[in-house]
Amino acid sequence: MQADKFYDQYWKSGIHRTLEWDELSFRRYLAPLIGLDSVLDYGCGEGCSYQRRLAGVVKTYVGADVAEVARADARQKGLATLKIDPETSGIDSPDNRFDGAACIEVLEHLFDPLKAAREINRVLKPGGALVATVPNFGYHAWRMLALLRAQVPLEPHSNRYDGVHIRFFSKLLFTRLFQDAGFVDIKIGSYDQAGIWDVFWATGSLGGISD
Structure confidence by residue, pLDDT tens digits, 26-55: 999 999 999 999 999 999 988 889 999 999
pLDDT score recorded for residue 97: 98
The pLDDT of 107-123, averaged and rounded, is 95
Q: Is the pLDDT of residue 101 over 90?
A: yes
pLDDT at site 1: 54
pTM, 2 dp? 0.87
More confident position, 12 or 170? 170
The mean pLDDT value for 96-101 works out to: 98
Q: What DSSP string describes the chain?
A: --HHHHHHHHHHHT----PPPPHHHHHHHHGGGTT-SEEEEET-TTS-SSHHHHHHSSSEEEEEES-HHHHHHHHHTT-EEEEPPTTT---S--TT-EEEEEEES-GGG-S-HHHHHHHHHHHEEEEEEEEEE--BTTSHHHHHHHHHH----SSTTS-TTS------B-HHHHHHHHHHTT--S------S---GGGGGGGGSTTGGGG-
Of residues 21 and 193, more confidence is placed in: 21
